[in-house]
Amino acid sequence: MADTTYLQWPFFEPRHAELAEALDAWAAQHVSHDHGPDVDAECVALVRSLGAAGWLRHAVGGRDVGGAHDTIDTRAICLIRETLARHSGLADFAFAMQGL
């Protein structure tokens, strides 16, 4: 994992560090740097994988509709995008598009 000393900054809570570490470990196992010739198919596969693992729940506000929290946690979104982008720009893109 990359240097995460910034997760000790006062506006991050322990849950943010746990989220970043868990996603980094998951991405190391499930996100490929080589997307092959069919980027669209790879993007669909990434969305399915992110959803199955529960990461897309962070892009939804409201537990009553399947979100991870009652409101969207912007700090968590930033950490998720940063972590995914470090592993794959396409993974970051796939995640970001689900929140639009």
Residues 20-65 have pLDDT tens digits of 999 999 999 999 878 889 999 999 999 999 999 999 999 999 999 9
* pTM for this entry: 0.90
Q: Which residue has the tokens 């996603």?
A: 23
**How far is the C-alpha of 25 from the C-alpha of 71, rounded, in Å?**
25
Cβ-contact 76, 19 below 8 angstroms: yes
